[in-house]
Amino acid sequence: MAAMDRRTFIAGSAAWLGCTASAQAFWPFGRGSEAKAPEEIRGRVFKGDAPEQLWPWSHEAYRYEKMGDGRVVCGVCPHRCLLSPGDRSVCRSKVNLDGTLYSLAFGNPSAVHIDPVEKKPLYHFMPGIRVYSLAAAGCNFRCLNCQNWEISQFTPEQVRHEPLAPETAVAAAGKEGCRAIAYTYSEPITFIEYMTAIARPAKAAGIKNLWISNGYINPEPLNDLCDLVDGANVNLKAFSDEVYRTLNGGRLEPVLATLKTLHARNVHLEITNLVVPGYTDDLQMVQAMCRWIVENLGPDHPLHFLRFFPQYKLDRLAATPVSTLERCRDIARAQGVRHVYLGNVPGHAGNHTFCHACGRLLIERHGYQLPQYHLKGDACLFCGAKIAGVWGERAAS
């Protein structure tokens, strides 16, 4: 679809809603061959980087303030980007054109797949269901270990994409038998306009909405999302503000506030912590994090410790020793976290769900297969203890 002059695109933007993306077209688009590796910019806007033209489906941004002098302030995340006309946001997906803030990530996903819900990872949310996963380019973090940097660290214009209307995405999810739509891979906060435009009709159609996020969001948009989201996995990247600033280009406190809000709003919540050697493998920090989780959120939110493998700008580090992950798991259990998992360690017992009361195996996981399932509703089949989660309709084996 050709670009359109920014002063006239609104008049013709309705046409894109008729696009008919096939439910069979699932794309890991990646970046275009012309794209160059991104400059290391942490917490700074891109001056004068806005395109001269917009796609017809570009969308006015959500929750921003016009300053009266042509500048705008984005209110979605704690960066609160102050953009003059022609500037681009830290997340790369918002631009100020003539004093109006636009999202370039609306309706043009850079990846669409069907995944098992366990891949998110969500282990206590309707195990075994298929989820329709999508992402658009951009991220408000600059993680040195990013696993999806070829879409998260580029602009929407630099990655290959296809137009996909919100209603078309919902219809495709239903056609493929997906019980949920997951906003994932990159950072959904940066395409929040698109996410909410999909989530509303999905909710009306009985399809669940899953938010896989770094949690770096302001309170007002977070509360809006809580009205639409059924489950979330938040990546608590470290329990240190210094590490957050160095490793990720953000701050710790807004993420902790997000976790508290999700808990208070009764959104199903699981937490991920990637154990990066030399950055987040300090066991005293892990202990403090687990203590905070239990004291502020309670013992029932599943906690996933993920094994790091060399990625992006940390490609010279060694993978996390499995023994370190096992020590993290022991620490979390000692602090009172009831359900602790080890990710990226195939075949390990840390992939399984055990009853916190009687210790019996409840859900066995081999990859994304579930050969054993011993829950009756939300209760342990052996002792009757309640197991926190959203368990769906699966019968115990």
CATH of the domain at 297: 3.20.20.70
d(CA 242, CA 249): 10
Residue 322: the pLDDT is 98
Do 140 and 208 fall within a single domain? Answer: yes
Determine, yes or no, domain membership for 343.
Answer: yes
Angle between helices 166-175 and 192-204 (to 10 degrees): 50
Do 119 and 244 fall within a single domain? Answer: yes
Do 252 and 392 fall within a single domain? Answer: no
Tens digit of pLDDT for each residue in 324-373?
Answer: 999 999 999 999 999 999 999 999 999 999 999 999 999 999 999 999 99
3-state class (DSSP) for residue 2: coil
Determine, yes or no, domain membership for 377.
Answer: yes
Determine, yes or no, domain membership for 145.
Answer: yes
Residue 285: the pLDDT is 98
d(CA 240, CA 243): 5
pTM: 0.90
Do 239 and 161 fall within a single domain? Answer: yes
Question: Which segments in the chain show pLDDT lower than 50?
Answer: 1-29, 31-42
DSSP element (H, E) containing 222: helix 219-226
Residue 223 to residues 42, 259, 264, 350, Cα–Cα distance (Å): 27, 12, 10, 33
Residue 26: the pLDDT is 40
Residue 57: the pLDDT is 77
Residue 43: the pLDDT is 56
Range of the domain at 179: 111-351
Determine, yes or no, domain membership for 165.
Answer: yes
Residue 39: the pLDDT is 44
